[in-house]
Homo-oligomer: A and B are copies of this chain.
Amino acid sequence: MDERIHEHARTLVEWSARIEAGDDVVVQVEEGAHDLAVAVAEQLGEKGANLVATYSSDEVTRAYLRAFDGEFEADPDYELALYEQADSVLVLKGSNNTAGSVDVPGDRRQAYATARQDIREARLDTDWVSTQHPTRAMAQQAGMAYEAYKDFIYDATLRDWAALAEEQARLKDILDAGETVRIVAEGTDLTLDITDRIAVNSAASVAYDSHNLPSGEVFTAPADTAGVVTFDVPMTVQGRRVSGAKLTFKDGVVVDWEADQGMDVLTEVIETDGGSRRLGELGIGMNRGVDRITDNILFDEKMGGTVHLALGRAYDACLPEGETGTESAVHEDLITTMGEGSRLEVDGEVVQADGTFTWE
């Protein structure tokens, strides 16, 4: 087995999930993630943790959901008990076909998700971590050869996370102390009020309230927004392509929008509810191992030299006690590249210029 798979498993179990002896761990294995599952099992054995492996397959889910014609039972006891009593959930993504369940009717999928709210919350209450094993299907989605995609995945995932956590702490301190962020890039001049908001140092570990491996971003929740932003990175939003999206904000609210592609889905997102016209997140990518866009949000939004903004729901971790942020049924990330001539300023001080932080 590729030695990097073992290192991936070690990073997941030790740095990310902080597994200890006696922990009750659920390992959710997607169809194509078998090799990573084997390596993770070895790490869990070494730690003296307990292991239950579940099987996660779009094809299984598709067959089940398409055949189900009735009301889904709310949070079946046996599954709820499994997650309520688990300490950690390790999600090993590894799809063999990213379109494997596109023909499940949306309302069926939504009804199933709605019926499983307590199970979802029980899972989120554990020390869960989501990670990606490289498969040919994911390489294809990224438009990359398989071997090159593997290099990409491990360059992004096998970082010196302790060092990155320290670097990110610098930016967190600046954002925590700051009141106004200004983002200037091609087609973008946006001002965000972050007074009293709390930045999260997302360093790919539950110890940092971070549940993705890889991670590598610092994010906060803006309270007010004004100006214009252009998202030059093409994205898949609710299964549809969006590129060249441009939003204009006034008093915190989107007042005008356009897109080269995907105008209808962009409009749907913005018009979902009251909160979906506001920003819920400002995220600053700091993972220099992510050197290209691969149409996978787990990686794209972490790319060093990018900034992402999410329409909709804000994360509680960014809000001081007693304050509520944007509330919405959606949280849609859109990404802009901080290229030549770009600037990121906090209270008028330049923090990043031409995509490079001042301390880099």
Contact = CB atoms under 8 A, between A and B. Distances in A.
A57 interface: yes
A29 B53 CA distance: 10
Interface in A19-54: 21-22, 24, 26-27, 29, 31, 34, 37-39, 41-46, 48, 50-54
Contacts of A48: 68-70
Contacts of A81: 78, 81-82, 85
Interface residues of A, number: 48
Given A82-B79, A85-B81, A53 B60 contact: yes
A61 interface: yes
B82 A57 contact: no
B63 A42 contact: yes
Contacts of A34: 31, 57, 59-60
A148 to B, nearest CB: 27
A39 B63 contact: yes
Contacts of A263: none
A107 to B, nearest CB: 15
Given A41-B64, A45-B64, A78-B86, 7 more contacts: A22-B73, A43-B67, A45-B68, A51-B60, A53-B56, A78-B85, A81-B85
Given A55-B53, A57-B34, A45 B65 contact: yes
B42 A53 contact: no
A17 to B, nearest CB: 15
Contacts of A46: 67-69
Interface string A58-101: 01110111111110010011110111111000000000000000
Contact of A67 (B45, B55, B56): B45
